[in-house]
Structures are given as C-alpha cells and as structure tokens.
Structure 1
C-alpha cells in the first residue's frame, strides 16, 4: 500500500511493528485470511504522540495491564479519515466515521476494530498530562461524539491538520503538545459533564429497551443474561449492575417475568384448553416439574392448584 509522503514522521509496517515490539500491549489480529498490509507514521509532540495509520481491516486488543508493567496509562483519541473505527470498552460499543471522534483508555481492556480499509489519526494523551483519572476516563470511552461543532469541531479539525501538515512543524514542539493536551482536557471536561448529566436518563432508557427485549423472547430457550448482554452490546457485569440497582438480577427478573406470564395465561379462560405443561413451554419452561416447582416458590401454590382455584371462584361467582 502506498503511503502519503510524510518524511518527518517515523514510518513502519504494521506487521513489522508487531514483530519488533513483542512486549507491546497491543496485539494485531487479522480479520481476513489474506495477508494484511498497511503503514503507520508517528511523531512525538512533547508527551503527546500523534499517529497516522492506514491499512486493511484489522483489530487492536489492549489487555489493560499497562500500569502494572510500568507503562504510563493514556487516553487514545481516534479520528477516522477513511472508513470507520469501532471501540469496545467498559461495557459499551461505539462507531466513529467522518468527523466523529471516539476514545479508549489503555488502563483497562479494550478492542479497537477497523472492519474495512481505513486511514485514521490517533492521539495518545497520558492521564497525568490532561489531569484525568481512570474513573473519569470511563465516562469518555466508547462514546463517539460529533466533531462538527464546539470543542469537538476544534479537536476534529486539529487532528486533520496534524495529518496534513505535521511534517511542516519545525519549532515549539513541546508548546504544540501542550496546546493539544489543553484542548483535549477542555473537551474531555465538557464531555464528562454532559455524560454525567445524561447518564441517569441513558441507563433508564437502556433498561426499558432490555426489558422489552426480554418480554418479547420469554419462550426462547436460549434466553439468558449472557445473550441479552451480547444483544445490547454491554458486558454481563454491566447488565447485572443495571438490575442490581433495581434490587434484582437479570436471571431472577427473566424468571419472574416468565412466571408472571404463565400466571396470566392460567387466568385467561380462553386458554383453558391448553395443558399446564404447554402453558409453561409458552414462557420458556420446558420441564413440567421444574415449572411447577418455580411457580410454587413464587406464588405459594402449584400451577394446577392455581387453575383449579380460579375455576372454583368463577363457578361460585
């Protein structure tokens, strides 16, 4: 692949980089069988590192052990020029393309995926330089934001400018790095405030979506907390946290919803022709004895007794 001439940036092939840095915290994983080609160019502005990377589809996996190995933790800021960037971290998934920007944090496990031929600009900003804690960084990771207005537009334009004119910069390297860090710190502070204000609303909306998804699939024998988490692109741990905030767990909530639907169907005279076992199967209970035991634990009475009592009350009325 022909690389744009950038003589003042250090150039190296992606595959060569992996071979020369066996202790790197990033591992290149192929997404296709064909041989991967590509180049990366980088330059250091003080403590800020700027890289321009292009190539075919590939994936970066960070194991989050940089602090323990003595490396300085950093926030990676990605701005795609061609193609898109997908970031998976902290139980979230986000996609950036065009002028959008997306971040990841090196101190925790992450995945950065480019599913098609791409060209991106990335910044590596040490936590200490921008006054950011790992906890604060969690409010930034895997959340793409528009680079078309406000501080986001300034950052997006700056990254494009560094890609186009970085080799022409001769003096005040440390000053430039400080300016980039200052802009990033202001942008991050703005984003952290916005996310913190929206977080409660976002979590409630996500919870409602998850509950609707579960209710629509109660009969699915493969329905489980893990499949629900995967469907909504969140970690199982994050899903458990959402339900824990409401005094329950994903598995317990799924079971309660299944039992509630069974009780509703046992109450329905129009379904009296269905057997108890079939009522259970319609809500995901495929063993009659298991269904009966759970129903009794929940309501203090077996499904058969419940239906019998309902008919007795109806007859007496």
Structure 2
C-alpha cells in the first residue's frame, strides 16, 4: 500500500538555492510538503519574491492543481510581466515559469502524476488552465488538501492510501468538470462529444455501459452521437473500449493491485472477458496484461499517444 513518507519543511535557504530572489531584499517564505504514494501536497506562503520554476531532470510528468489563497501572481512572457488573474491554476505539465509573487501571498497545491489521471479522464489537457471563478468542487478539493497539510498526525497505510485515492478522484472530477463545462470553447458537436467522453470516463468500469446508455446520459439520440464521433474519426464503442483499456493498464501498473488476478482486473475495468481486455490492451499498448504487469516501469510498456 502507499505510505505517508512524512512531512518536509522548506525555508528561505531552500528557495534561495532554487533561485528565488526577495523583492524586499530578503527571501521570506515557508513551505510544507506531504507525500502520499506518487502524489504530493504543498502549502507555500511568503513575502514578495521572484522565482523560476523548472521541472527537475528525470522528474515524473505531473499535473499541478494550484489553489491561490492570497497575493498577486504574475508570470514573465517575452520580457513582459503578465498578471495571473486566477484563483485556480491547472498546469497539465507542471509549472515551468518565471513567477513574481507580491503582497502577502499563499497557495496550496496537489501535484499528481499525469499517468495516474489517465484512468479518470478521457483525455488530458495540453495547456495551462486558469480560472477566476471557483466551483464547489474546487473549494472542496482545496479544503481537503489544506486540512491534510495542517494535520500533524502521521497517516497509517490505510489512511495514506485513502488520501491518495481521494485526491486523484477529486482531481479527475475537477478536470472533467472544467473540460466538459468549458475548459475550451468549441462547436456544439465538440461540446456534445466532450460531454459523452466525460460520461465514458466516469462509467467505463460498469460492464453495462454501452453507446445507447452514453447517448441517453447526454440527452442525445444514438444516431446523432455516432455521427459526432464518426466526424472525429472514432466511435462511441471504440472510446468505451479505449477508456476501459486505460483503466486496466493503470491497475496493472500499480503494485497495490497485484493481489488481483487477470480475471478480476478485467471485471474491475468493465470488460466482459479477459480475452476482450487482452485484445484492447494489445491494440492500444502493444502488450497483453501479463506483459504490462511484468514490464511495469520499464521501456517495454508502450504508452499510448
């Protein structure tokens, strides 16, 4: 099971080593980090400073959910400081920017491996999303992350696993909400397809999910929905199969599910049989379930584009 590896505290010297520069002559900042499995939670606050944030060499690709609690944030773009007018920032490739933070600033963040989110959303965003208006889901995720960070208690293995899963599910739901409800504006057909993809991502583990049920969930006729997917070069059934394969792969790549046999994994992923799961995994990743599990973390596991 995932384990809480403890709490790390960071002070001015850590930020100076990372290239931070205090705008008032001194670097005044403090941070706290807690890790659960493959994700980490952060709370950071301080006085005005500038810092360049870059991913570390060999770092696992991350999605950052950043909840801004106070202060003014700006990023440097082609030599010009651009105000970041947002209370929520979703960075699908992590934050890699020259930032200026002024006033009494603070934020909390959840840093989640991109691969872990593949089982929760039909498609990961490629560009940074900034949101000025907050939803109930945003606020709930921020409150949960803040509460976990404020606690001085060390998490048990079960608690650590629960925290990790809750953050993943809230992050996945937040992405679905933002993507399906206006992450990007598109044509009516694109909006309908996004809504259908969100339903597929949420319900793919249900073996009873089929194109007709997806059409009913998005209040569309099956014929209309099939046309929308056909125009995008795919089909509703193919996307259901693809999403089930992504879920199956995420379970196979997670050592916590090694206690489950292939038949159990197929059932949990929404496949009717192990043969259908094997075919879908081979089509999408070039390897069957046993090969993916055996090559976990290695170069032999093919990642779908």
TM-score by length of 1: 0.47
Structure ID, larger Rg: 1
